[in-house]
Structure 1
Amino acid sequence: MSTDRHPLGIIKNLGEKTIRGLDDQITGDLILPDNEQYDDARDVWNGLINRYPAVIVRALDSDDVAAAINFAREQNLTLSIRGGAHHQAGEAIVDNGVVIDLAAFDHIDIDAEEQIANIGPGTQTKEVIKTTQAHGLATPTGSAGCVGMGGTTLGGGIGWLRRKHGLSVDSLRSMEVVTADGTAHTASENQNADLFWALRGGGGQFGIVTNFEFELYDVGPLIGGLITFYPADAARTVLETYSEFTEPEAMSSIVNYGEVPAVPPIPESQQGEPAIGIIGCYAGNPETAMDAFAPLREITEPLIDATEPMAYTALHEMGTLMHPWGRKYINRSVFVDELTEQILELVITQTDTAPGEMDGVGIWSMGGAIDDDSETAYAWRDKSYLILIEAAWEDHDNPAHIEWAHETEQRFREVGGEGAYAGYAGVEEGEWEQWERKIFDDNYDRLRTLKARYDPAGIFDHGLSVTPKTE
């Protein structure tokens, strides 16, 4: 192996003086391949990802971020941003390049009276929820407590408040961001409005956000929690009924066909059983929620019905337990307007023929507040459902699960599935044609124009980056 294609070889080629120069410019830690912290620092949530960066900068402030960006640009090294390290395709870590670790940006500052929160990109969702819930408040986040706020927000942010309050990007008031030239900016509707537009759904390809300012809403501490599982042989009936009862806007829900997850409050004796389950959040009066949930709890005799008023935090804890760190994952997705017979049939047949017990297909209700006009780079707002294809496994048979996920996605596209959600895109396999338009749709050309303005050299290139537009 050529030394310039190996992390240690890259460090050798850079030279001690260059590395020392970077170390002198930052207040955070500089981690190199021979450092005992290296393996922990390059570890990510998805066990399928195993990459070896040359340099890891654990930034403590915006100056550290700027220094690391300038270093990567000057040395012509690929750059990645590690927030929660939870991106399915492993975009937090790059081979032979520079990783900027934002774990220290974990601040949460609440103004309960004004209902505003300033949150760091390295903060985990569970900490945001816990802190805001102490005031009876919340902002839209991802659906699991273990994800970082940076990545999930910049991609859109689909969570349990989506139909009531929209996506994470819809609650953003402003951001502090360091762009490719190492300059810090404020992005809001009144300052750098085009950058503000691009960051809200365009992902981390225009700069590194060091602070998010969010709107907060009255939520909880108790919400209506829907947790009902039916036998697998009732899948068709459950799916048909589900498509008729996704209102009101206060209710966001998911129906998953696969197996009963190994999480509380589900009894251990029933965990792992083949089943179809409906999990939902009613972001309003918990008692009113029981009436809204009733049609989805009475489809047939349930295996499990743990539906009750519950803490808002509990749903996110379930998401964390269902997707543990280190397991292997491939997620793919499409959007659909309606749940046709063909769509429902594919949910069943593709799950039944999946290679692993943890592989399955889920349907997420969209619409509601997501449909509201919003000047952001997030596309596909008018779609009613997100179809999520998830393969999860712990053995070494990677190809079988990857091929199943790819084939399943293609089959849904053949019957009307469109687009993809950036967080569930699976583009690391590199076989998509025109994947950029599948994620960004009509926003693609404008994003290319802004990429040319803010990152013409492609410093922030990763699997979901657009190509800068040239004249």
Structure 2
Amino acid sequence: MMWRAVLILSLPALSLIMAHDIGRLRKTLAAGNVYALFPDDNGYSQAAQAYNGRFIIGPIAIAYPKNAEQVSTTIVAGAEQNIRVVSRSGGHSYIANGLGGKNGSLVVDMSNFSNLTLDSSTNLATIQPGLRLGDIALMLNDRGRAIPHGHCSTVGLGGHAAYGSWGFVSRQWGLTLDHIVSAQLVLANRTITTVSEDNNPELFWGIRGSASSFGIVTYYEFSTVAVPEEGTYFVYDWNVSVAEASTFLTSLQGYVQSGIPSTLGIELRLLRGNIAGNLSITLDGAYFGSHDSFTKTIKPYLDALVPPGLTTITQGNWIETVAALTYGTLNTSTQAPINDTFYAKSLLTPEDSPLSKVAVDALMSYLDTAGFRTTDVFWFVEIELYGGSNSAINTVPVDQTAFAHRNKLFNIQLYATSVVPPYPKDGFAFLNSITDVIISNSPREWHYGAYINYPDNRLDDWQDLYYGSHYARLQALKKKFDPSNVFSFPLAIEGDTPLN
């Protein structure tokens, strides 16, 4: 899914940019040797293009610092004119937060921060936020090590690690942020500091769940794990009736609580059926036990279902399996930029209150009826396994990090794409109705949540759904470390003095 567009700034965007002293901003950045692109510079339009074609945003400038001191200079250059400052690593934000999420931000692009080192005596890896996940996997694998992360190879580490970062090894090793040992970041007052359990532990707590609200991370230090010797990537496909589709989800809930090993990571994907009355279903995931034990592990679930129409099993070592689940390409330098035009939502379901049969049946019925009629977007509902037996995600005490969701079973990602702009209005209503169907058929006190790495800027009660019981504590940190709200963007922790 690729598109190209020329950025044409709207009158409000131009007026917002012109309200600031551009010459002064240029001069301050130049004095600090910080390269930057402004709206009238060649290359600005391409650099300001959002990953999601729903958003056309005009930053006041895009800066490309090369070290922490230049990041500090850039933050000061924005703050002294009350310009919102945001960091961008891979640029894959669903709501263009890497561009500020709205017009007039100063973007600190971290693509020059792309180094990785590994201390062989401690197996601690120092990784800068501009590195992409595929390259991180390759570099660490060369040393026999790994960290948990998602399976989209071109995503940048910065935002991914800041807010959670689920992947197929998360049940075995935890989230990416669970492996952060320390981090260097530049604060709103331009101070360069390192945080850890021993140095400013409260801020260290806050960056593991909302780092971008408090500063710009220039490197993370991670604990690493030895790579598994064997792995299996698996894909099973079906076209089934609505009644059969319900069995796929109800059986999955029982199966994942039945003592499955932590080495199994899975997701169930629901799609438009080939005919009315049917749904297409895909089960895929990764297993990092022995090749011989995979069939025995997955068999109890498959036995509860009709035989799949298509089966693809890819087995190899660790890095071969990771490459397979990222469609075979980990070296991001060989990949062309990918863009899409879409709306996405998420729903984290509580482990102690699984989806009821009534909710599952209502979901499948809605996807068959409204989903089959919805033809102006391609949609899927992806049910990712977070919890279940032996999940490392849920063994972490909820207050150990700012990430608030340690008692969830599934993360349900809802995604609808028109591929190219404009995005149709009924695409929003369709996805919102899916979550409404699930919630309205669940208990009144059903403690669901939402996953901020799949951000939805149209969500009203986002503070509670994304940050849960931690929001007040995060606001206290915001008041202490960013009282002027320099780091401001949609879904950021709110300060007392919002900027324009």
Pair in the same fold by TM > 0.5: yes
CA contact 2:164–2:175 (8 Å) conserved in 1: yes
Q: CA deviation at 1:363?
A: 1.2
Q: CA deviation at 1:409?
A: 2.3
Partner of 2:75: 69
1:37 aligns with 2:43: yes
Letter in 2 for 1:245: Y
Tell me how far apart the structure 1 counterparts of residues 289 and 14 of structure 2 sit (CA, whole Å). 52
Partner of 2:6: none
Partner of 2:455: 425
Change (3 A) 1:205 1:115: same
Structure 1 residues 39-58: aligned runs within 5 Å: 39-58=45-64
Letter in 1 for 2:17: I
Number of residue pairs the alignment of both structures matches = 453
Partner of 1:122: 130
Change (3 A) 1:391 1:18: closer
Partner of 2:474: 447
1:344 aligns with 2:374: no
Partner of 2:416: 391
Change (3 A) 1:49 1:412: same
CA contact 2:314–2:321 (8 Å) conserved in 1: no
1:326 aligns with 2:351: no
Structure-2-length-normalised TM-score: 0.84
Letter in 1 for 2:247: T
CA contact 2:206–2:474 (8 Å) conserved in 1: yes
Partner of 1:258: 271
Change (3 A) 1:86 1:15: closer
Partner of 2:262: 249
Letter in 2 for 1:464: L
Letter in 2 for 1:439: Y
Q: CA deviation at 1:71?
A: 1.0
CA contact 1:26–1:67 (8 Å) conserved in 2: no
RMSD across aligned C-alpha pairs, in angstroms? 2.6
Q: What is the CA deviation profile of residues 419-449 of structure 1, one whole-angstrom value per residue up to 9, with x for unaligned ones?
A: 111112312x2x51x3111111111111011
Structure 1 residues 274-423: aligned runs within 5 Å: 275-298=280-303, 299-310=305-316, 311-318=320-327, 325-337=338-350, 338-352=354-368, 353-354=370-371, 355-356=374-375, 358-367=378-387, 368-374=391-397, 375-395=400-420, 396-414=422-440, 415=442, 416=446, 418-423=448-453
Change (3 A) 1:15 1:334: closer
> Which range is displaced more, 232-241 or 195-204?
232-241
CA contact 2:50–2:57 (8 Å) conserved in 1: no
Q: CA deviation at 1:4?
A: 8.9
Q: What is the CA deviation profile of residues 366-421 of structure 1, one whole-angstrom value per residue up to 9, with x for unaligned ones?
A: 12111113410001211111121111222534212122122222332322461111
Letter in 2 for 1:358: F
Q: What is the CA deviation profile of residues 302-349 of structure 1, one whole-angstrom value per residue up to 9, with x for unaligned ones?
A: 12111242423225413989x982111222111213132133224423
> Which range is displaced more, 447-456 or 227-236?
227-236
1:458 aligns with 2:485: yes
> Which range is displaced more, 405-414 or 442-451?
405-414
**Amino-acid identity (%):** 23
Q: CA deviation at 1:297?
A: 4.0
Tell me how far apart the structure 1 counterparts of residues 11 and 271 of structure 2 sit (CA, whole Å). 45
Unaligned residue ranges in structure 2 (runs of 5+): 1-8, 331-335
Structure-1-length-normalised TM-score: 0.89
CA contact 2:272–2:367 (8 Å) conserved in 1: no
Q: What is the CA deviation profile of residues 97-136 of structure 1, one whole-angstrom value per residue up to 9, with x for unaligned ones?
A: 2111001111121234532211111111111111112233
Tell me how far apart the structure 2 counterparts of residues 171 and 253 of structure 1 sit (CA, whole Å). 21
Change (3 A) 1:4 1:13: farther
Q: What is the CA deviation profile of residues 443-469 of structure 1, one whole-angstrom value per residue up to 9, with x for unaligned ones?
A: 111101111111111111111122237
CA contact 2:209–2:403 (8 Å) conserved in 1: yes
Tell me how far apart the structure 1 counterparts of residues 329 and 263 of structure 2 sit (CA, whole Å). 23
